[in-house]
Structure 1
Amino acid sequence: MQNFKNLIEKRTSLAVIGLGYVGMPLAIAFADHINVTGFDLNKEKISLYKSGIDPTNEVGNEKIQKTTINFTTDEQQLQYASFHIIAVPTPINQDKTPDFGPIIGASTILGRNLAPGSIIVYESTVYPGVTEDICIPILEKESGLTCGIDFKVGYSPERINPGDKIHRLENIKKIVSGMDQETLNEIASVYELIIKAGVYRASSIKVAEAAKVAENSQRDINIAFMNELAMAFDKMKIDTNEVVDAMNTKWNALGFRPGLVGGHCIGVDPYYFVYEAEKLGYHSQIILSGRQINDGMGTFIADAIIKQLVLAGKKVIDAKVAILGITFKENCPDVRNSKVIDIVKRLKEYGISPDITDPWADIIEVKNEYNIDLKQLNDIKNVDCLVLAVAHDEFKIMNLLDMDNLFKPLPNSEKVFIDLKNICSLSELTSSGYNFWRL
């Protein structure tokens, strides 16, 4: 295992390509053991890292300031590494087909800077076959080298859960795969440097690729089931969370609850599977149906908001609505593929432009991504309707009096309170006299 030996003895280095929510924790962890180059095209991001600032909040400023990582936007620095991890996003296009732009771009850059004897591991979520059918040909074309002879390739799906301080990189078992046994052994040894939970050796690259898509699709389907129940129970005038609380008393209940499903994994990955399956003549039934249900939740919630405004006697077009939270999940600054935006878009169809606040989201990023000007929480006032959309800790510590101060001075029966994250207890909401609705 010459490559691993060279890394341990620091005669060469490991390069992480793509320093976001996945790449940065990897780079930080490896830098405690071996020489690491952290490469990203985003000059602003690299500048922040060099200044000791972590915009992802995944590892924290202190670790960034202490790390020995060589942060760079200079692709030629990749020539000095012999082990490369590509951790760029794999988004979808408007028509829900895979957008391979980032992974093709990363492969192209690495290919023209690839040194003989290197190992490349892809962590980006893809459908089975992408690593071998799309990425390897690019590496060969750009480098002039031959895969299997001059360089080796593997795949290890990322399993990082952004914002989760319990399930961290080091204590989540890592799936690894390689194009042959020797490569698999090298890759496994490298990851075992940082993964305390150990590695699982998949039998092939395609199996590892499929495992990632399957685990995210499974979660997507389970949440879709709960969302479908929520829509049905809403018509039956049954509180879904009370049903879930009762159901969860059984030992084999899965604990899922209804909600918005966005982000760069669960809200995207199932479409990669559906795309490849349909190319091969199989039309997905369960996975695609689940995705369609979850994609429609923003509209369902917005329509519920409108209904509650009407029941409270409000003139919809004049109603002032405020939304607490815009990131795709709690205690995480990531706004990519946030389904809160679907609520906003639907409300705008009714003539409502809601005020939005989020202590975790970057104001500039939200403006660039969605053309929305975030407000400070202190600037949210005199609203007719308050929507708790994301369960950030900053919102969870607010009591009903804190929230009541955001409303217009009206009788509680004329105040509309929408709790999408089950933050407030049902008894509190009922006794408050608010016109309320929970998902």
Structure 2
Amino acid sequence: MTQISPIDRLAAYTSHSEAISVIGLGYVGLPLALLLANKYRVIGFDISSERVKLMQQGSDPSKELANEAFCSKNIEFTADPSRLRDASFHIVAVPTPINASREPNLKPLLGASETVGKALKKGDIVVYESTVYPGCTEEDCVPVLERESGLTFGEDFFAGYSPERINPGDKVHTVDKILKIVAGSDPDTTEVVAGIYGSVVTAGLHRAPSIKVAEAAKVIENAQRDLNISFVNELSIIFKKLGIDTQEVLTAAGTKWNFLKFQPGLVGGHCISVDPYYLLHKAKQVGYEPEVIASGRRVNDGMPAFIAKELTQLLLQRNINPKQAKVLVMGATFKENVADIRNSKIFDVVNELMNYFINVHLVDPYANPNEVAREYRISMQDEPGKSYDAVIVAVAHREYCDRDLDYFRDLSKPGQDLILFDLKALFDRNDARKGEVIWRL
């Protein structure tokens, strides 16, 4: 950066003469904004005025943070984009979903870039945290910033990338305790970005040599997990046909010191099941058809249909007509002990069961019924009913982990043996009575 040295720039933020903005106050942006507000003057921006009002009252709309997290913070929450003009260091932390065709949906990211671009001034820095494919920041976002601001990238304003590594529901690995990757469009910018994050992240920093390297590092983190889970999911399908318990196999194999202990299951959420499609998209753009990554995605995307088919076949074996069956699904969020329902594969299971004309009841102590109805057009029950032909425990919420098999027996149809689909392997199969089925992946 030619006009101001990194040291002088950092001093301006520390003295509060310059502000930092965070655009997008979801599960990534809000904890980061509050962390920065311990040391800097922060402007937290979100397009949802409803969410902003909750944060102004000291409440996290995502229900991840306690009210105390908002206390004594130098932060202004706003839905007014003009307030971004008071900041000169902008952090974009908006979702990067996929569309119905499983292609990257950059609308939130480019929309945020337009908003920031209108507020850009000479010398400003824009850092992206959203997960993208390599090249997205400089090839897709920066041109929008230039167009909206009328400024020249690399001369008038600068860019950085520092991928989020937030783990929703994790109260141990919080944003300040997770090592941060940082990269800038030039060495001086990298040092400013590193200085800002390094002053609040106690876990340390890794300076990537370029923005593209940092982008690539983030997207393969989740692609790697996706592939490992797809492997054990495929093993589960194979072992089902062989009459072998997958969990027993994994326990035995796990005694080897370098065996990777991944578990089969539904792969949903806004990271592991989404990010590989960003890498697939970019690979195809440069003329390569990925095989391994695409194969892993096919396996994981096929698990809801596999589970529904297994349950339907079991009902038929018990002379239960699926059209007359009632099944309880416990858990709707994409992971345990969070309220986030985005891209939860539980709803795919529900829809697959409904395709067999099974009557499905869905409950979850964390999910918002209104959000479920709006996003998935599925109605939730306030509480479980009775007389179910089968119960699916789909999410390892702490409320479900505390249950015993008698609880599920009480939910089952009188005079009928328990059928429990334990997707998270929470319960001991040895506790099943004769005739009962505890099915697991």
TM-score (norm 2): 0.97
2:3 aligned residue: none
Q: Does 1:95 align with 2:101?
A: yes
CA contact 1:80–1:115 (8 Å) conserved in 2: no
Provide, for residues 302-359 of structure 1, a one-character-per-residue CA deviation record: whole Å limited to 9, x for no partner: 1111112112221111100010001111111111111111111111111123110011
Alignment of 1:387 with 2:403, yes or no, is no
Q: Is the 8 A contact 2:16 2:40 kept in 1?
A: yes
Deviations 1:1-35 (Å, cap 9, x if unpaired)?
23321110111111100000110110111111111
Residue 241 of structure 1: aligned partner: 247
Aligned to 2:88: 82
2:221 is equivalent to residue 215 of structure 1: yes
Corresponding letter in the other structure for 2:430 = S
1:409 to 403, 407, 414: 414
Distance 1:65 1:303, change over 3 A: farther
Do the aligned partners of 1:3 and 1:83 also contact (CA within 8 Å) in 2? no
Give 5+ residue unaligned stretches, structure 2: 1-5
8 Å contact 2:40–2:74 — kept in the other structure? Answer: no
Secondary structure, counterpart of 1:354 in structure 2: strand
Q: What's the CA shift string for 1:71-100, capped at 9, x where partnerless?
A: 100000100001110000000111111101
Partners of 1:71 and 1:254 lie apart in 2 by: 43
Name the residue aligned to 1:371: 377
Question: How big is the alpha-carbon RMSD for the aligned residues of Structure 1 and Structure 2?
Answer: 1.2
Kindly state the Cα deviation for residue 57 of structure 1 after the two structures are TM-superposed: 2.6
- Asked if 1:428 corresponds to 2:434, the answer is no
| Match runs of 1:283-322 below 5 Å | 283-322=289-328
User: Contact conserved, 2:99 with 2:105, CA < 8 A, in 1?
Assistant: yes
Choose the corresponding residue for 2:405, options 389, 400, 404. Answer: 400
- 2:422 alignment partner, one of 413, 419, 423: 419
CA distance in structure 1 between the aligned counterparts of 2:180 and 2:16, rounded to whole angstroms: 24
SS at match of 1:405: helix
Partner residue of 2:55?
49
Distance apart, 1:201 and its partner CA: 0.2
**Partner Cα separation in structure 2 for residue 159 and residue 353 of structure 1:** 39
Residue 170 of structure 1 aligns with an amino acid whose one-letter code is: D
- Give runs of aligned pairs for residues 65-214 of structure 1, distance below 5 A: 65-214=71-220
Matched residue pairs, number? 435
Q: What SS class does the counterpart of residue 37 from structure 1 fall into?
A: strand
In 2: Cα distance, 1:105 partner to 1:115 partner: 18
Q: How does 1:30-41 map to 2 (within 5 A)?
A: 30-41=36-47
Determine if the alignment matches structure 1 residue 332 to structure 2 residue 342.
Answer: no
Task: Report if aligned partners of 1:3, 1:82 keep a CA contact under 8 Å in 2.
Answer: no
Letter in 2 for 1:51: Q
Q: Can you give the 5+ residue segments of structure 1 that lack an aligned partner in the other structure?
A: none
Moved more, 64-73 or 43-52: 64-73
Deviation at 1:432, TM superposition (A): 6.1
CA shift, 1:65, in A, is 4.8
Counterpart contact for 1:312–1:416, Cα < 8 Å: no
Structure 2 Cα separation of the partners of residues 126 and 181 of structure 1:
22
Q: Kindly, what percent of the aligned residue pairs are identical?
A: 48
Residue 159 of structure 2: SS of its match in structure 1?
A: strand
SS of the residue 2:261 aligns to: coil
Kindly indicate whether the alpha-carbon contact (under 8 Å) linking 1:344 and 1:353 is maintained by their aligned counterparts in 2.
Answer: no
Q: Give distance in 1, aligned partners of 2:48 and 2:36.
A: 21
Name the SS of the counterpart of 2:411 in structure 1.
Answer: coil
Q: Distance in 2 between matches of 1:316 and 1:223?
A: 30
CA distance, structure 2, for counterparts of residue 376 and residue 400 of structure 1: 21
CA distance in 1, matches of 2:9, 2:312: 61
Distance 2:75 2:228 in 1: 39
Q: CA 1:36–1:422 in 2, change beyond 3 Å: closer, same or farther? A: same
Q: Does 1:352 align with 2:354?
A: no
Secondary structure of the residue that 1:356 maps to in structure 2? strand
SS in structure 2 at match of 1:313: coil
* CA shift for structure 1 position 164: 1.5
Distance 1:376 1:171 in 2: 37
